[in-house]
Amino acid sequence: MCGIFGFIGKRTRAESIDLAIAIKSLHHRGPDDNGTYFGVSKSDPDVACAFAHTRLAIIDISAAGHQPMTTDDGRYTIVYNGEIYNFRDIRQELQDLGCKFNSNCDTEVVLKSYVRWGKACVEHLRGMFAFAIWDEQFGSLFLVRDRLGVKPLYYTKTSEGLAFSSEVRALMNCGVAQRRISRAGLNSYLAFGSASEPFTIIENILSLKPGCFAEVVGTGTRVAQYWSVTDESGVKDRHAAGEIKSVVRSAILSELEADVPVGVFLSGGIDSSAIVAVAASASERPVHTFTVTFDEIRYNEEKYAAEVASRYGCDHHQVHLSARTALSHIDSLFDALDQPSADGVNTYFVAKAAREAGLSVVLSGLGGDEVFAGYGNFRAFGSMLSIGRAAAPVAKLLPADLKSPFRNTTRRARKMAALLRARGSPSKTYAVLRGMFTDAQVRALQPEQHRNGYVGSDSIDPCSGSDDAVNLYSRLEMTNYLRNTLLRDADAMSMSNSLEVRVPFLDHLLIEKVLCVDGAAKVSGHVNKPLLVEAAETLPASIYARRKMGFTLPLNDWLRAQFNSRATELLADRSGRVDALLDPAAVAMVWDAFTRGERHMNYSHVWCLLALKVWCLRNRVASW
């Protein structure tokens, strides 16, 4: 896993970029090695390319895996971030075609796949990746991101060219993007707790969408999609359910590939326990597992994680996190964010513990709920759509929103009214279910001169219509909450600790198979995620038969007690120009409502504002 940065465009601009700043900005993503490259187009001497790379050595940890990597003839150069789990099979296929290799790393396999197959190379890749390949002969760049968006890839365009990076901050630090807030990014952040792709929190920095590639020639750019989770064939595979076990096992085992030790984040829930069960069955050594525990008993899954670790003979690590310890690391936690987020705190601490234990790679159950229908909303979504459609004639009589956006009204009442106003629209209904602040609150939180008619569903990446509400909701989850919040936070928080997180439940072959299963089979009976439980096979009933419990830190308790004074101080801080982004009176109303215990304002609303305010201050971002 690595950090990448690059620029293609006018030669004079490429020469002016300080690549040392890019390397410094991305050092945490790859502390094992770094390198730079500068090349001039042979077809146009006024066009040039500059690359910077930082390396976290996982596959072929020798110097042979150094990047940027150039083909023997000097024509193609790559910077790559990711892991290709089937790279050995691709390598053998290329060798059979006469290709010769100088290393044992997947980077060279990706590079020579492109040389052989061009942009069609992505069809051969199974894994998580973001990479750029420069063709010096034609002065062109091929930029691509993996199918699910596990690895980030940001870019910004100017009249002088295009710059890209693994992190937003690197683009700002190198001076290719201004530290100016994005109106669209801010609106979606307040609505959902994270900026919705393709936008970021910074103006003119965009995210290349998952399953897309960009071809850049000079200052011209063409973006195209090569894969989409939203594709709807309408045809169910009656054999798919019976094949889930093999594809789950294949995904997990393929992601154990590494030349360094691999561990597992173990919460004690179905997803992480299933990974441990499969990994342990194929490992000759005890699997390293990591669990975070708390003083607050109602947040603890300690006994369930310990039971799984004992059952499968794991080398189990329990990391106890007290409020005092968490508070002492709060500055580092905020520094880890590449963009502000209302989530991700839990990932930061468990990633920190895994890295301190000497690991460079861990597997996570992230995505299990979204793929295997693990939330209660999967069961209810179809009914919500039906009720919304039936209530459409009445819904138009409801006001746009409750009159006072911060008054003490139960969250359930607000959501019920909003669901009726959605009139059965899948994207609008989903926006209500996943929303942070309501549309009226989003507007009220911003200074009056910047309020507009934004509505949360504007930020939702819609999916094609389907009569299978479970699979439709799964697609909406994968293209919105999973992509914009969970994956982004997992990458930022883990890579800030120089740790690679792999997510086998987001293997695209697994997803394609699971989405062929009728939604009813995923929510039937009394067992949560029955397809995954059946695939894991040896899980104890105490793990899959208990009530679902999300992996959440006790932030609600901490903000009312140990974190209270610090949160008050941060929210009241009016230094810099943050007041140009958030209305101080509205922020105070949110904090007051939370501290008074009003049910409509919970800890996530407070943390959302805290993260935004601190991130903007630390990154000197505030102006429009």
Q: Which is more confident, 357 or 450? A: 357
Q: What is the dihedral of CA 171, 175, 181, 182, to 10 degrees?
A: -60
Calpha distance 147→125 (Å, rounded): 10
567-576 pLDDT, tens digit per residue, is: 898 888 776 6
How far apart are alpha carbons 45 and 54 in whole angstroms? 28
Whole-angstrom distance, CA of residue 216 vs CA of residue 381? 41
Question: Is 488 a residue whose pLDDT tops 90?
Answer: yes
pLDDT at 587: 92
Domain ranges of the chain: 2-225, 240-372+477-544
Does the pLDDT of residue 578 top 90, yes or no? no
CATH 3.60.20.10 is the classification of domain 2-225: yes
Name the residue among 467, 482, 402 with its Cα closest to residue 434: 482
DSSP structure class, residue 524? -
Q: What is the mean pLDDT of the chain?
A: 89
- Split at pLDDT 50, 70, 90, the class of 274 is very high
Q: Which residues pair with 162 in a beta bridge?
A: 8, 157
* 282 pLDDT higher than 70: yes
Q: Give the model's pLDDT for residue 411.
A: 64
- Residue among 429, 517, 510, 419 at smallest CA distance from 477: 429
Residue 110: is its pLDDT beyond 90? yes
Short-list 261, 20, 2, 212, CA closest to 107:
2
Mean pLDDT score, 196-222:
94
Q: Which of 441, 435, 433, 436 is nearest to 400 (CA)?
A: 441
Q: How would you write 185-231 as a 3-class SS string?
A: HHHHHHHHCCCCCCECCECCCEECCCCEEEEEECCEEEEEECCCCCC
pLDDT of res. 576 = 61
Among the residue ranges 232-246, 287-301, 304-318, 549-563, the one predicted with the least confidence is: 232-246
**What is the pLDDT, as a whole number, of residue 418?**
82
Distance, CA of 186 to CA of 188 (rounded, Å): 6
Residue 602 backbone phi and psi in degrees, to 5: -105, -175
**pLDDT band at residue 477 under the 50/70/90 scheme:** very high
* Confidence class for position 400, pLDDT limits 50, 70, 90: low
Q: Is 315 helix (H, G, I), strand (E, B) or coil?
A: strand
Of 130, 129, 153, 158, the C-alpha closest to 221 is: 158
Give the range among 86-95, 350-359, 610-619 with minimum mean pLDDT. Answer: 350-359
361-363 and 262-265 strand pairing: parallel
* pLDDT at site 257: 83
Residue 605 binned pLDDT confidence (cut-offs 50, 70, 90)? very high
CB atoms near residue 404 (< 10 Å):
11
Where is pLDDT greater, at 38 or 328?
Answer: 38
By mean pLDDT, which of 191-205, 228-242, 474-488 is the weakest? 228-242
Structure confidence at residue 231 (pLDDT): 55
Q: Please state the φ and ψ torsions of residue 507, each to the nearest 5 degrees.
A: -65, 130
Residues catalogued as catalytic: 2
Q: How far, CA to CA in Å, does 105 sit from each of 32, 91, 129, 188, 222?
A: 15, 10, 14, 39, 30
The arithmetic mean of pLDDT across residues 597-612, rounded, is 90
Q: List strands edge to edge, sheet with 212-217.
A: 69-70, 76-84, 127-135, 140-145, 212-217, 220-225
Mean pLDDT of 220-224: 92
For 434, phi then psi, to 5°, come to: -100, 5
**Range in 22-31, 39-48, 99-108, 579-588 the model is least confident about:** 579-588
For the stretch 3-20, pLDDT in tens is 999 999 999 999 999 999
Q: When comparing pLDDT for 449 and 534, which is higher? A: 534
Q: What is the pLDDT of residues 169-187, one digit of tens each?
A: 999 999 999 999 999 999 9
Residues of the chain with pLDDT > 90, as a percent, come to 61
pLDDT of residue 402: 53
pTM: 0.94
- What Rg value do the Cα atoms of the chain yield, rounded? 24
Report the candidate in 356, 271, 272 with the shortest Cα–Cα distance to residue 317. Answer: 356
pLDDT at 591: 93
CA–CA distance, 199 with 195 (Å, rounded to integer): 6
Q: Identify the top-confidence range among 1-5, 235-239, 271-275.
A: 271-275
Range in 52-61, 147-156, 311-320, 483-492 with the lowest mean pLDDT: 52-61
- The pLDDT confidence band at residue 549, using thresholds 50, 70 and 90, is low
Chain Cα centroid distance, residue 575: 31
pLDDT at 557: 87
N residues, the chain: 624
Q: Encoding tokens for residue 131?
A: 């990479």
- Identify which has the larger pLDDT, 164 or 439: 164
Residue with tokens 């008050």: 568
Listed residue (139, 148, 144, 85) closest to 117, CA to CA: 144
Q: What is the pLDDT of residue 431?
A: 92
DSSP calls for 452-514:
----GGGG-------S-HHHHHHHHHHHTHIIIIIHHHHHHHHHTTT-EEE-GGG-HHHHHHH
Quick one: pLDDT at residue 390? Answer: 87
Q: What is the mean pLDDT of residues 519-534?
A: 88
Would you place residue 188 in the very low, low, confident or very high pLDDT band (cuts 50, 70, 90)? very high
CATH of 240-372+477-544 given 3.40.630.10, 3.40.50.620, 3.50.50.60, 3.40.1620.10: 3.40.50.620
Give me 194's structure tokens.
Answer: 């994270």
Containing 131, the helix (H) or strand (E) segment is strand 127-135
Q: What was the pLDDT predicted at 407?
A: 67
Token look-up 């829930």 returns: 269
User: What letter does residue 562 receive in the DSSP assignment?
Assistant: T
pLDDT of residue 604: 93
Q: What b/e sequence results for 38-76 when a residue is b if at least 16 CB atoms lie within 10 Å of its CB, and e otherwise? A: bbebeeeeebbbbbbbbbbbbbebeeebbbbbbbeeeeb
User: With 70 as the cut, is the pLDDT of residue 408 above it?
Assistant: no
Question: Is 80 exceeded by the pLDDT of residue 254?
Answer: yes
Does 272 or 578 have the greater pLDDT score? 272
Residue 273, exposed/middle/buried by CB under 10 A (0-12, 13-18, 19+)? buried
N- to C-terminal Cα separation, the chain: 34
Structure tokens at 562: 């140990």
Distance CA 415, CA 209 (A): 29
Above 90 in pLDDT, residue 230? no
Res 357 pLDDT > 80:
yes
**3-class secondary-structure state, position 385:** helix
